[in-house]
Amino acid sequence: MKLPPRLLPFAVLTLISGPALAQMDHSMHGQPAINRASAPHAMTDMDVLAPLSGKAFDRAYLSMMIGHHQGAVEMARAVQGRVKDAQVKTWVANVIRDQTGEIRDMTAWLKPLGGLDIKMRGMMATGMKGMITPLKTAKEPDRAFVQGMLPHHASALDMANLALQKSSDARVLKLSRDIIKAQADEMYAFKLWLAKRG
């Protein structure tokens, strides 16, 4: 089947990062794979964002990313004070500091776009619950946090990659680039940390 030129970037992205894209349906986070497979028509973040353009895209993207960041902060707070590894403690503190700062910036940028889109943020926040709840009772909070942040970061990379393609706002473009650089580096470090522990 021959794809239209405008769909080629998405086809390439799917081939390169299929497992990461599979995590994009935040309503399915934390649920068994069989449940995700039985809901093939569930609306995903990319389904919502991809058709949008201009200010409508920026508003939806920033609102969803605020919900996504709030989820990360809650994940970090769920294990804060219980993690023992020095590196994991640093990651937890950095997530709270960095993503809280980005939430503040994104909230300010949304004001001229019509403010926070409650529906978009809410959709993301609802999906985050499946990633936060297990951390509150994890017997190995260090490992659980690192493992949980891998799919969380992967979905942020997918959203940020889409923003680099669709947004024209210099602040949104820079934020998206920064998210990709920082979170890809963290994912690499997470994998190395986990590999050392078997």
- pLDDT tens digits for the chain (198 residues)? 444 444 444 443 433 344 443 333 443 343 333 233 333 334 678 889 999 999 999 999 999 999 999 999 999 999 999 999 999 999 999 999 999 999 999 999 999 999 999 999 999 988 888 899 999 999 999 999 999 999 999 999 999 999 999 999 999 999 999 999 999 999 999 999 999 998
In a domain, 18, yes or no: no
Range of the domain at 74: 52-196
**CATH number of the CATH domain containing 61:** 1.20.1260.10
| The residue count for the chain | 198
In a domain, 177, yes or no: yes
Domain count, the chain: 1
pTM, rounded to two decimals: 0.79
CA distance to 39, 52, 150, per residue, from 187 (Å) = 28, 28, 6
Six-digit token string for 182: 């920082």
d(CA 118, CA 60): 10
In a domain, 56, yes or no: yes
User: Of 76, 24, 67, 30, which is closest to residue 48 (Cα–Cα)?
Assistant: 24
In a domain, 147, yes or no: yes
In a domain, 81, yes or no: yes
